Amino acid sequence: MSNNIQLKQGLNIPISGGAVQKTKKDVVSTVIALKPTDFRGLVPKLLVKEGDEVLCGTPVLADKASPEILFTSPVSGTVETVVRGEKRKLLEVRIKPDAEQKHLDFGAKKVNDLKDADIRAILLKSGLWPSFIQRPYGILANPQARPKAIFVSAFSTAPLAANMEYVLRNETDNIQTGINAIAKLTDGGVHLSLCSDNFNGTPFHKLENVIFHTFSGKHPAGNVGIQIHNIDPIRKGETVWTISLMMLAAIGKLLNTGKLDLSRKVAVTGPKAIDPCYVNTVPGMAIADIAEFYDNSANDIRFISGDVLTGKNVGAEGFLGFYDNQVTLIKEGNEFEMFGWAKPFRTHLFSASRAYFSWLTPKKLYDMDTNTHGGERAFVMNDVYRKVLPMHIFPVHLMKACIAGDIDKMEQLGIYEVLEEDIALCEYVCPSKIEWMSILSSGIDLMLKEMA
């Protein structure tokens, strides 16, 4: 039995370069990187040094605030480089993988025999505890806390997102094991949201020990934050955890086999991708290892770990993020278009409004680039945000409260319910070209500092 929630607000961005459902290669990485910057609020403590040999599952980093939270190597190999930035900030730990992978043995477990404390212990020891994201604020989950509930989104509506049914088609048993385990960490149950358009066609509707919900609508209907808001909004003093199906599968494999296995199918997508498809790899994969899927001879590609709305620009020398299963390749928009605003007949451009005639060809896909088509200007009230944000909050007021650093107003206007991914579309359609996600990020950082 499911709760069907229909969302009327939202926007699907018709960008070209979606991955076809075929896996072209297994990526054998020359080097992988574990990046502390993938984890909000983490103050890392380095546990290895250059030249150390590690196994898959060997601790590499720890959280100084919660030393029991470990970050382990996804491969076996040798620590090649420790990369630091300004003021010796730890940016990356680069590991050169072995030709033959070796794993630490954590011991296979029967979930029914495990208690809450046992599950927490093995997830902390194996490095899979960072799979949980705690809301509010999108930080690492507190190992000492018991959340109100745990939420999982079984589909994604983000631009060119990887197809979950294809990516995890052989992982149903592992996902079920993961669900049975994490269900013991909360009294509020595990809430699993499915797309109503394909509810009976997905293998995930057969999962047990979950509370089902179905959602219909445009992006961001697949965002877990939007789903939480429409199922059981977060109030002051409450915490919930979220986790992806991909990480649930990793937890299930750990418990079923005793080995840490973070391998995943990653979608190579975007207008600049050659033969967009899937590759088998691990988190921390070097972008250079998929060079056959792009031609950057003109040095005009932006390399994004994630989707075009919320992914990180990692550059040609960058690495895949810990939580990502998508790489997007898009053209850098650096061309100047004279009188562009006065040219309504620009058929090569998409408009979220009816400024151009893209609304006459709703099925057309566009080779989008990063041009913003204008500069930042006065931040004025506008109803365009209401049309793309299916949440009962006042987004402009919240952004202005973040700019002003007014904590009381931020609390009243919904800071506990949103992360950057939830308001990404507001930034995309913003006529004032305001960097919404950056403003919200600053507001969250202020809340973490002042409310700790």
Helices 245-257 and 172-182: crossing angle, nearest 10°?
90
In a domain, 253, yes or no: yes
One domain for residues 53 and 183: yes
User: Do 212 and 250 belong together in one domain?
Assistant: yes
Q: Quick check: is 214 in a domain?
A: yes
Q: Is residue 415 part of a domain?
A: yes
254 and 133 within one domain: yes
* Residue the block writes with tokens 């989104």: 153
* pTM for this predicted structure: 0.95
Question: The domain spanning residue 289 has which CATH number?
Answer: 3.10.20
Give yes or no: residues 117 and 72 share one domain.
yes
Residue 405 shares a structural domain with residue 303:
no
- 251/314 same-domain check: no
Name the domain boundary from 262, 278, 312.
Answer: 262
Distance CA 238, CA 20 (A): 41
- Tens place of pLDDT for every residue, the chain, 452 residues? 357 899 999 999 999 999 999 999 999 889 999 999 999 999 999 999 999 999 999 999 999 999 999 999 999 999 999 999 999 999 999 999 999 999 999 999 999 999 999 999 999 999 999 999 999 999 999 999 999 999 999 999 999 999 999 999 999 999 999 999 999 999 999 999 999 998 888 999 999 999 999 999 999 999 999 999 999 999 999 999 999 999 999 999 999 999 999 999 999 999 999 999 999 999 999 999 999 999 999 899 999 999 999 999 999 999 999 999 999 999 998 777 666 666 666 777 888 887 777 777 888 999 999 988 788 888 888 889 999 999 999 999 999 999 999 999 999 999 999 999 999 999 999 999 999 999 999 999 999 999 76
Q: Are 267 and 162 in contact (CB under 8 A)?
A: yes
**Share above pLDDT 70 across residues of the chain, in percent, rounded to a whole number:** 97
Domain end position, chosen among 262, 284, 304: 262
* 204 and 60 belong to one structural domain: yes
**Domain, as residue range, for 80:** 1-15+29-262
**Shortest CA distance to 55 belongs to which of 289, 261, 252?**
261
Query: Domain ends where: 312, 345, 378?
Result: 345
pLDDT digits (tens, 9 = 90+) for 303-334: 999 999 999 999 999 999 999 999 999 999 87
In a domain? residue 153: yes
**Residue 364 belongs to a domain:** no
The verdict on 244 and 294 lying in the same domain is: no
Query: Does 302 share its domain with 234?
Result: no
- 195 domain-assigned: yes
Q: Are residues 37 and 160 in the same domain?
A: yes
In the chain, the number of structural domains is 3
Residue 372 forms part of a structural domain: no
The amino acid sitting at 145 is A
**Dist. CA 260–CA 254, nearest whole Å:** 5
Residue 355 located in a structural domain: no
17-41 confidence digits (pLDDT tens):
999 999 999 998 899 999 999 999 9
